[in-house]
Structure 1
Amino acid sequence: MTEISSNQVTNSPSTSASVDQGTPTRKTNGDSAAKKTSAARKTTRSGQGARKTTRRTARKTVPQSTVKGMAMSAPAPSIPVTEPGQFGRINVLDVTPNAEGGVFPARVELGEQFHVTAEVFIEGRTKVGATAVLKTSRGKIMQTRPMTCTNPGLDRWEVDLQAGEHSDVKPWEDGFADVKRQLGNWKVVVEGWEDTYATWLHDATIKVGVRDNDVENALDEGAELLLRWAKTRDAGLNAAQKKVLRDAAEQVLNKELSITERLAAADSPEIHELHDTNPLRDGISAGRPVNLLVQRPKSSFAAWYQFFPRSEGAYVDENGKIVQGTLKTSVSGLERAKAEGFDIVYLPPIFPIGVTNRKGRNNTLVAGPDDPGSPFGIGSELGGHDTVDPLLGTMDDFRALTAKAHELGLEIALDFALQCSPDHPWVKQHPNWFRHKPDGTIAFAENPPKKYQDIYPIDFNADMEGIEKEVERLMELWIDAGVTIFRVDNPHTKPVRFWQDVIGAVTKRHPEILFLAEAFTRPGMMRALSYAGFTHSHCYFPWRNTKEELEEYLNTTNCDNGYYQHNTFWPTTPDILTAYVRDNGIAGHAVRAVLAAMGSPNWGIYNGYELIENRQRPGFEEQIDNEKYEIKVRDWSKAKEYGIAEILTSLNRIRRAHPATHSYHNLTVLDSADENILAFVRHTPAEFTGTGKPDTLIVVVNLDGHNAHQSMVHLELSDFGIEGDSVDVHDELTGRDFTWSWDNYVSLAPWADVAHVLSVKY
């Protein structure tokens, strides 16, 4: 991150009516990428020694008065923009990320790397430059970076920025107040400017090369330009840098030198370095600011772990009956999540369960006397969404559980299913909140062919405002009890505006609260829910299993879509068990875990995954003996037999250690020949890692859980800052070391290694 202090910036070009020699608008940008570019020029340009010799001569032959007395060319002005739609002196269009006309801001986590592009151009053949400026919600300039023209034919300029510094501070920890002050709506401004130096150098080089009869005027113009550059406060030059430019101007004017030597004085590595870091920017024109919503840690990069409190610590007594777990025994689930390296523990509803139409095992319509019912059938005579199920414990027990979680560094996410059992207090208190059939009965929930006779859905048409107020009250109650995240069940079956109102009201008071949408539905609805304020989203990852499907979905998740919809990759859930997980055994579980953990900054595991619980209910993509309808008694000592818990732990360790896994905007799919070998790279440049070194992970996965596969994998070394023809890599999963080059042979067998996660050694 490039900080700009108040003594370096005294006026912003986006608010200045004009920019001239006396109007400071930007700081010196000491960007490391620019320095590398200049360093490269230093090694490729020749004749430096000769220029140093003639420079000493020039100082003696050209009086300073001659240089200081020259007439200066008028610089391109910055034309004021006084109303929307007006162009400045330079044209700046189509700044991204930007969706829906800028109504909904792009979202990134504090410290997340993100990508900015824009069209920047000017009339004729004059050359332009572009700079991206990042400002906080309070207007403080946090970063300025020069942009690179990646497509001259389309005038497309690009750059990566970073929204502050990464933080792992939790909402309940000391120091979160400092994090909280940094959150909110930041702005990205792309400034286009006339690159007078580059335009002059291009033309002067041609004229000197052909001995044009106008070469003296061209050189005089260059000297004027260098002198004006030295005086322009916007360039942010120090005394030594100004002297470099003035000395160069003297040599350009020294007619005792050849015209080639005079031009070379203005074409030196030192001046090119200044052009990279402290350019002369004429006609500065700011594009329309793009909003960027910076959110707190864990809004993009997080690892989730789900368990049912009533199964945690459950056992079979001497009479063969199951004794359910409680909030007190659920501490073991917290400890397991912590040991495996997860950040967030997600709990299904913990409220009283209705009796009317209670479901039995495997969603049968009639419950047995010992069937606990689905926790999603919320509400009984004991209470509704504001009550802890007495079979689990009390509100004090829940507070103790969240306190223990916080002690372990874990956040608690609570399921908020906005639906009721027929026994919920709302049914009598607010009958108008439910849809009635013509015969006067309340309609139960359906998702044909699935039916949920134990659930009444809410009808929002009669009193949406009243329902909003009640939901806000409930969320305040659970926030006060230690909840920092809500996982919302089926939000796509409720009005988007409802969630927009509720989330807006809750986050206004508690900007640290995050929301996960369980919305397996149409892409438009999922995007709209993200616009409405859902921080994370379930997604289609479980059903993307072939190489072609995965390559497409990795690119869909890790692109501009990731500014709005933070896809969370879950291999399984209580509702989802795909044929791939069913049929590929232990290797398949390992494969899906690697893809989830490395394929998205957000991923989650439903407990039991470590025990290879992969038997499907016939005819359905869900587990048989589904935990939604019964209490599971698990023998966690068997987890060691499968090794999946160890893989989960390793993946979370890798994610914490490597900044490259933290962003939705740095993934590149690699070419590989075999249809079962998938390969991709996550790369974060040195400027954004916090270590001063780039961070690059190469992930290669064998998608076949039964057979070995081999493939050549192509790696474009230079795209990831790798110099030379080879590089050493370290397998973070196995500890082995390899050497990779442009084309690499990979062999993976499910009985040995299902995947490589290779970190590049720079």
Structure 2
Amino acid sequence: MGIMAVLQSAQRNSDNSDTTSRKSKATSAAKTTKSASKTSKTAASKPTTKRKRVDPETRRMNEALNGLVVEAPAPVIEVKEPGEFGRINIMDVTPGEERGTYPARVEIGEPFKVTAQVFIEGRTKVGATAVVRNPRGRETMRLPMTCTNPGLDRWEVTLKCGEHSDLKPWEDGYAAVKRQLGIWTVTVEGWEDTYTSWLHDARIKVKVEDDVENALNSGAELLARWALTKESGITAKDRKVLEQAAETMANKELSPKERLAAGDNPEIAALHETHPLRDGLSASQPQRFKVERPKSSFAAWYQFFPRSEGATRDPQTGKITQGTLKTSISGLERAKAEGFDIVYLPPIFPIGVTNRKGRNNTLVAGPDDPGSPFGIGSELGGHDTVDPLLGTMDDFKALCQRAHELGLEIALDFALQCSPDHPWVKQHPEWFRHKPDGTIAFAENPPKKYQDIYPIDFNTDMPGIEKEVERVLNLWIDAGVTIFRIDNPHTKPVRFWQDVIAAVTKRHPEVLFLAEAFTRPGMMRALSYVGFTQSHCYFPWRNTKEELAEYLPVTNGDDGYYQHNTFWPTTPDILTAYVRDNGIAGHCVRAVLAAMGSPSWGIYNGFELLENKQRPGFEEQIDNEKYEVKVRDWDKAKKYGVAKMLTALNKIRRSHPAALSYHNLTVLETSDPNILAFARHTPADLTGTGQADTLIVVVNLDGHDAHQAMVHLDLDKLGLPTDRPLNVRDELTGREFQWGWDNFVSLAPWADVAHVLTVQ
């Protein structure tokens, strides 16, 4: 076959390849074929009167290549059904869907990693490209993949679906964000990298003067075919570059090195990087991603009890006057000042009287003990009623309105449990578990007993319970709630939550759900499958370097496509020995780890005031706010400096795209067992600024003594420059340093508990 015949065949193959790669649905392909058939008939009925004009560059190239004989390029092989291979083999695309049922979940604009095995037979080189399409099938991103493990044919790339946004559901412009939510797809395209394969062999042959003429003629043909391939998407200017290079390479009057240089130079290399010749183009099955709204992954939570916010103590009698929803405005303003964007409120419903718990969970309540807000329900109402001691439904709506004015979302705790006084007990006694003697059993988790709570029995009338819960949740959504924190969802049927969340989000797709589920991995994964957007996790108990170095990559890895762990240093239920024993430095350390170790983190108020005394024998605070009203002097927060740290961390998070993702964390090597370091890196293509963003976090885990360590950076792996020192800036102090592969760090708890470094 002559060279011109080959080029004509390549042109036809290119046109077919271009159509195949851009049509993802059979119906679209059928319409294209039908249209093409009509066009061909029309063209056949009319005589051709014009011949396509050939420009001088192309004519000279054709003359230079005339008479050469070359191999045919790898064809595109049609894939007619799932499971068939194309010309290039593509396998094990990650993240993979669970049984093809539950797509991976990402927040809009959140960078995430896709990997795949891409290979071909023999020693031929291949390339890979990832293509992102929105719910309407429109291509929004196309990026080359990088081979990170040649021995395993493993390729990877970092992508994103849509652009990051901080818009709230009630704000102007959110409608445009909402239109981008839903099921997106990522397709991995594999192709024979004919240019790289040729270049590898041609360099060797020219160097050793072996079969040089054939090697250079093959290169000339390849560049000429590349210039004619529409699928490459090259411009007219680039086409001329390739044609001139092909002509030069075919010129036997030049030396072999001169001819090779025409196709082996930075200009051609750059063109290969952006618009490669892709022979044998093959595509994977589209991988689905569920793209969720802002704050589904990247969020900063702040929790306070409304009854304590604004509470006062009479200096004469010591009697406490509890706070209300109206006085809780101060809590909103504090959360805003510290940079948080979600305010989480414990249950605000009426509290039962029967078996009401006293201070520190005692079985007998005093006359002034308010009881636990988790003992829900009294003669005043149940889950659909505001506790009159806090105010009215109008007061709650006003609180939500003020939160929205401050740019804060309101998350409400929903605990599906009832006090013996709850209206449901009389209205629906069949909803509760009974003992053999006919009495209702109180909740137990031996040896723990919850005498103030009746557990619900889902085996008698689950559809009825679902309907009632949906009604209640919709009531609070109408009042201004956009997020629900669900108490102990793992003690209820997964199918129950699946039904409820599906029904609620069908009507209110903007609503998010946080699972307070400290339980087995399988249950936590199942809850994420059925709609829990975020989850509490075991971060509070990961305190040593070894524990954190193991846990951070799990949270920020493939698990993060489903279970979005939110890191809380403390909660009303959790106060660990580490926080108890490490003072101000320990509080700041845990805040840094929480804020920078996960895109989602939260603080329970009082953390700023160093409330770290444990109830003897328990990992929770003494004088626990769950059982009493707290009167706090917030003016004291300044002397500890913890609030200042929280504010700084939230500012850093908002300013750096690298903090947004569950899929970009790398633990770094350090030489001291008390120094933990990790990096977050987002490439320039995905930051929205055109500049790569890298954060390096180094923490001294010892709250009492100074420690020094060497911190090793794998510059290549992190995509950082290797030919010059890195200028880094500590976002906590403003100090600047120069870093490289190995770096000395000294951190003292009385000075700097951590560095949060930005690569300049």
TM-score, structure 2 as length reference: 0.91
Identify which of 92, 95, 110 aligns with 1:94. 92
Corresponding residue number in structure 2 for 1:654: 652
In the alignment, what sits opposite 2:217? 220
Distance (whole Å) between structure 2 residues aligned to residue 586 and residue 716 of structure 1: 33
Question: Counterpart in 2 of 1:752?
Answer: 751
How do residues 597-636 of structure 1 correspond to structure 2 at under 5 angstroms? Answer: 597-636=595-634
The count of aligned residue pairs is: 714
SS state of the match for residue 175, structure 2?
helix
CA distance in 2, matches of 1:278, 1:108: 29
Which amino acid in 2 is paired with 1:264?
A
Q: Residue 6 of structure 1 corresponds to which residue in structure 2?
A: none
Distance in 2 between the 1:179 and 1:16 partners? 26
1:239 aligned partner: 236
Q: Which residue of 2 aligns with 1:739?
A: 738
Task: Tell whether the 8 Å contact from 2:383 to 2:472 is kept in structure 1 after alignment.
Answer: yes
Output the amino acid matched with 2:345.
L
State which of 418, 421, 443 in structure 1 corresponds to 2:419.
421
Could you say what secondary structure the match of 2:179 adopts?
helix
Q: CA deviation at 1:729?
A: 1.7
Pair 1:593-2:591 in alignment: yes
Indicate the SS of the match to 1:182: coil
Partner of residue 299, structure 1? 296
The aligned residue for residue 120 of structure 2 is 122
Does residue 727 of structure 1 match 2:726? yes
Q: Distance in 1 between matches of 2:25 and 2:565?
A: 40
Contact 1:14/1:286, CA 8 A, preserved across alignment: no
CA contact 2:58–2:243 (8 Å) conserved in 1: no
Q: SS of the counterpart of 2:91?
A: strand
Secondary structure at the counterpart of residue 292 of structure 1: strand
In structure 2, the partner of 1:389 is: 387
Moved more, 372-381 or 748-757: 748-757
How far the C-alpha of 1:265 sits from its partner, in A, is: 1.6
The worse-fitting range, judged by mean Cα deviation, of 493-502 and 253-262 is: 253-262
How far has the Cα of 1:700 moved from its partner? 1.2
Matched, 1:664 2:673: no
Distance 2:382 2:60 in 1: 89
Q: Is the 8 A contact 2:128 2:190 kept in 1?
A: yes
Q: Is the contact made by 2:682 and 2:694 (CA closer than 8 Å) also made in structure 1?
A: yes
Q: Match for residue 108 of structure 1?
A: 106
Q: Which of 138, 162, 165 is matched with 1:164 structurally?
A: 162
Preserved contact between residue 150 and residue 157 of structure 1 (Cα < 8 Å): yes
Q: Deviations over 1:624-670 (max 9, x none)?
A: 11100111111111111211111111111111111111111111111
Instruction: Give the Å deviation of 1:62.
Output: 5.4
C-alpha distance in 1, partners of 2:613/2:140? 52
Counterpart of 2:739, as a letter, is: W
- After superposition, the C-alpha distances for 1:699-719 in whole angstroms (9 at most, x for unaligned) are 111111111111121223343
Superposed, 1:279-294 pairs within 5 Å as 279-294=276-291
Calculate the TM-score normalised by the size of structure 1. 0.91
Which residue of the partner structure matches residue 274 of structure 2?
Answer: 277
Alignment of 1:315-354 (within 5 A): 315-317=312-314, 318-354=316-352
3-state SS in 1 of match to 2:543: coil
Task: Show CA shifts across 1:242-277 (max 9, x none).
Answer: 111111111122111123322222222221111111
1:97-152 deviation line (CA, Å, top 9, x unaligned) = 11423321111111111111000011122211110001111111110001111111
Instruction: Check conservation: 1:381, 1:425, Cα contact below 8 A.
Output: yes
How many angstroms apart in 2 are the aligned matches of 1:211 and 1:746? Answer: 53
Give 1:737 deviation, angstroms: 2.0
Counterpart position of 2:685? 687
Counterpart of 2:40 in structure 1 is none
Q: Answer whether contact 2:300 2:601 (CA < 8 A) is retained.
A: yes
Amino acid of the residue matched to residue 377 of structure 2?
A: G
Distance of 1:432 and 1:707 partners within structure 2: 59
Q: Which amino acid aligns with 2:228?
A: K
Q: For residues 315 and 170 of structure 1, what CA distance do their matches in structure 2 show?
A: 34
- 2:24 maps to what in 1? 15
CA deviation map 1:661-710 (0-9, x unaligned): 11111111111111111111112222222222222221111111111111
What's 2:475 paired with?
A: 477
Moved more, 597-606 or 499-508: 499-508
More moved, 729-738 vs 325-334 = 729-738
- Equivalence for 2:400: 402
Contact 2:711 2:742 in 1 (8 A): yes
Between the aligned partners of 2:85 and 2:333, the Cα distance in structure 1 is 59
Deviations 1:564-622 (A, max 9, x none): 11111100000000111111111111111111111111110000001111111111000
Following superposition of structure 1 onto structure 2, how do residues 370-519 of structure 1 map, counting pairs within 5 Å? Answer: 370-519=368-517
Q: 1:367 to 1:121 in 2, by over 3 A?
A: same
Does the aligned pair in 1 maintain the 2:376–2:382 contact within 8 Å?
A: yes
Cα separation, 1, equivalents of 2:583 and 2:58: 82
Q: State the secondary structure of the residue aligned to 2:157.
A: strand
Q: Distance in 2 between matches of 1:481 and 1:298?
A: 20
**Which AA in structure 1 matches 2:261?**
A
**Which sits farther off after the overlay, 59-68 or 452-461?**
59-68
Which has the higher mean CA deviation after the structures are superposed, 253-262 or 448-457?
253-262
The answer for the alignment partner of 1:308 in structure 2 is 305
User: Secondary structure at the residue paired with 1:648?
Assistant: helix
Residue in structure 1 matched with residue 676 of structure 2 by the alignment:
678
Q: Is the 8 A contact 2:338 2:643 kept in 1?
A: yes
Aligned partners of 1:618, 1:411: CA distance in 2, in Å?
36
Q: Does 1:254 align with 2:263?
A: no
Aligned residue for 2:676, secondary structure, equals: strand
Mapped contact 2:61–2:243 kept (Cα < 8 A): no
- Secondary structure of 1:525 counterpart: helix
Q: After TM superposition, give the deviation of residue 72 of structure 1 in Å.
A: 7.1
**Contact 1:16/1:80, CA 8 A, preserved across alignment:** no
Does the CA contact (< 8 Å) of 2:297 and 2:600 recur in 1?
A: yes
Query: Which of 245, 265, 272 pairs up with 1:268?
Result: 265
Which stretches in structure 2 are left out of the alignment for 5+ residues? 1-17, 27-31, 34-55
Relative to structure 1, the CA distance from residue 358 to residue 63 in structure 2 (aligned partners, 3 Å threshold; closer, same or farther) is: closer
Q: CA–CA distance in 2 between the matches of 1:64 and 1:270?
A: 22
CA distance in 1, matches of 2:584, 2:631: 21
- Residues 280-289 or 61-70, more deviating: 61-70
Taking the aligned partners of 2:668 and 2:61, their CA distance within structure 1 comes to 60
Task: Report the aligned-residue RMSD.
Answer: 2.0
Alignment check: 8 A CA contact 2:64 2:251 kept: no
User: In the alignment, is the contact (CA less than 8 A) between 1:610 and 1:645 conserved in 2?
Assistant: yes
Distance 1:722 1:701 in 2: 24
Q: Which residue is equivalent to 1:360? A: 358
Identity of aligned residues (%): 77
Is there any run of 5+ residues in structure 1 with no aligned partner, and where?
1-8, 18-22, 25-57
Residue of structure 1 in register with 2:3 after alignment: none
Correspondence for 1:541 among 536, 539, 542: 539
